[in-house]
Amino acid sequence: MSMKVNPPVLSNDKTYERYKQELLAWCEITNLEKGKQGIAVALSLPEQEKLRIRERVFDELTTDQLKAENGLTVLITILDKHLGKDELVDSLEKYEDFEDFKWKETQSITEYISDFDSKYSKIVKKNMTLLPEILAFKLLKCANISKDERMLVLTGMNYERKDTLYEQAKVSLKKFKGSASGGKDSLENSSDFKLEPTFLAEN
């Protein structure tokens, strides 16, 4: 099914990787014939920016190249050359962004989990994955919760079901650390949940 949709816009607040992803999605739904897609996208590129990417495109490609059946593919190759990152460097940056991520005081626990998921999804796309139990424990560690809070969150998780442990951790963390609507309640200040020394000793 095709639709009349303008090509995505490349802007300063959008990474090239995201722009390219949107561009490929646009190709799947546009009703614009292939011979016009390259030119349409080239003309949608910004002019007033440091790299002057539209100028570079028209300097390196002819109109005939852009209006060919593979015009958009050729254009993307040029964009990759000027805007794309080295695959290894990009993978390292995404891994470090995930590895260094921790909960911030300005975030609700729901926002923290959402950001954690987003950063993990980016490294999964680079073929880097963690076992569910490792991912669950990292989620708790990076949440900057106290030992008592962590022990209480663990009571809501079943370690025998390792394949779903990460999903369990998210549900339990939301339950005990903050509401799903974005509350920032701390267990340390909650009168509803108290861990007694005997409970900790037994668990």
pLDDT per residue over 104-148, tens digit each? 999 999 999 999 999 999 999 999 999 999 999 999 999 999 999
Q: Which residues of the chain have pLDDT under 50?
A: 180-203
Other Cβ atoms within 10 Å of 92 Cβ, number: 13
Alpha helices (H) in 49-108, listed in sequence order: 53-60, 63-66, 71-83, 87-99
Classify burial at 177, counting beta carbons within 10 Å of its beta carbon; exposed 0-12, middle 13-18, buried 19 or more. buried
The confidence score (pLDDT) of residue 100 equals 96
The confidence score (pLDDT) of residue 195 equals 40
The confidence score (pLDDT) of residue 139 equals 97
The confidence score (pLDDT) of residue 12 equals 84
The confidence score (pLDDT) of residue 201 equals 42
The confidence score (pLDDT) of residue 96 equals 96
The confidence score (pLDDT) of residue 180 equals 37
CA distance 7 to 87: 25
CA angle 156, 161, 164 (to 5 degrees): 80
The confidence score (pLDDT) of residue 14 equals 86
The confidence score (pLDDT) of residue 186 equals 45
The confidence score (pLDDT) of residue 199 equals 34
CA distance 50 to 125: 29
The confidence score (pLDDT) of residue 184 equals 44
Look up the pTM and report it: 0.62
CA distance 120 to 58: 37
First to last CA, the chain: 57
